[in-house]
A and B are shown apart, each in its own frame.
Chain A
Amino acid sequence: MFVAKSETLPVRTEQDIVVVRQTVRKLAQKASFSLVDQTKIVTAASELARNTVVHGGGGSMQWEVIQDGGRTGLRLTFEDQGPGISNLEFAMMDGWTTGAGLGMGLSGSKRLVNEFEIFSEPNKGTRVTIARWK
């Protein structure tokens, strides 16, 4: 497997979340994802980008177009240096919410993608990597 193209975007403001959506949409279209698959990864990206802005105090997203034996995929990594998640297992459960009734959307996002990886520790920030293959 290798990375064909890659770039990093800032994810600090609400407007950045919109940019993330538009960027991921374009990338998914270029990789010839079906409309449903495009929507899934754009939505997952929107959820994670919002987490980064709202809960992580701002961070970045790196996108990578990946190739493996003929198939193309899109991998996104959201990273922040925020407070981190103290109980990951709990956070990944369905229906877990924090603060003003805003769900973390982590468990939901996981269902929208093929690969999902999360690293987070209190005061050490959070890093979520998702990938979707055509």
Chain B
Amino acid sequence: MDRIPILRMGEFLLVTIQVDMHDQLAVSLQDDLTAKIVKTGAKGVLIDISALEMVDSFIGRMIANISSMSSVLDAHTVVVGMQPAVAITLVELGLSLRGVTTALSVDRGMHLLRRAMGGEEAADVRGQE
């Protein structure tokens, strides 16, 4: 069965969703991602949905779940590139995905992740003094 590839970029994991996902594929992504976070000790996850032309409640919940799960595993998640039509539809559907950090582009997303991770390191250092 095909699975969505998860790329590793330094301390980040990058997922680019380009296909029209059937439910099982979405569930597999959740499993694969959480497993990989643990395996690699990644501190940041970037999910690129700029190619997704539709996000329904199932996929929306999956995104929210991934964000929560990775948070429990001490990693930050940023979802980037939501298309305007998708955003409008999600809002109308009643999903606001509160708690999920979003960014306009991969660049901005990386920036946010680095800032989030950098902030923690600084805090750790201060804590040790």
Contacts and interface: CB of A to CB of B under 8 A. Distances in A.
Q: Do A and B touch directly, given a CB cutoff of 8 Å in the complex?
A: yes
Contacts of A108: 57, 92-95
Given A14-B23, A50-B56, A39 B94 contact: no
A22 B53 CA distance: 11
B97 to A, nearest CB: 13
B94 A107 contact: yes
Contact of A112 (B24, B53, B89): B89
Contacts of B24: 14
B87 to A, nearest CB: 10
Contacts of A18: 20-22
A105 B86 contact: no
Given A36-B85, A36-B88, A43 B54 contact: yes
Interface of A: 14-15, 17-18, 21-22, 25, 35-36, 38-40, 42-43, 46-47, 50, 94-95, 101-103, 105, 107-109, 111-112
A40 B56 contact: no
B80 interface: no
A95 B88 CA distance: 19
Given A17-B22, A18-B20, A103 B89 contact: no
Interface residues of A: mostly helix, strand, loop or mixed? helix
A46 B58 CA distance: 9
Contact of B89 (A14, A21, A25, A40): A40
A102 to B, nearest CB: 8
B66 interface: no
Most chain A CB neighbours (cut-off 10 Å) among B22, B85, B89, B94: B89
B55 interface: yes
A14 B28 CA distance: 14
A47 B56 contact: yes
A22 B20 contact: yes
A43 B88 CA distance: 11
A40 B92 contact: yes
Contact of B56 (A14, A35, A101, A105): A105
| Nearest 6 CB-CB pairings of A with B | A108-B93, A39-B85, A46-B56, A14-B22, A36-B85, A108-B94
B18 to A, nearest CB: 14
Contact of A47 (B53, B57, B84): B57
Interface in B90-116: 92-95
Nearest to B91: A111
Contacts of A17: 22-23
A36 B52 CA distance: 13
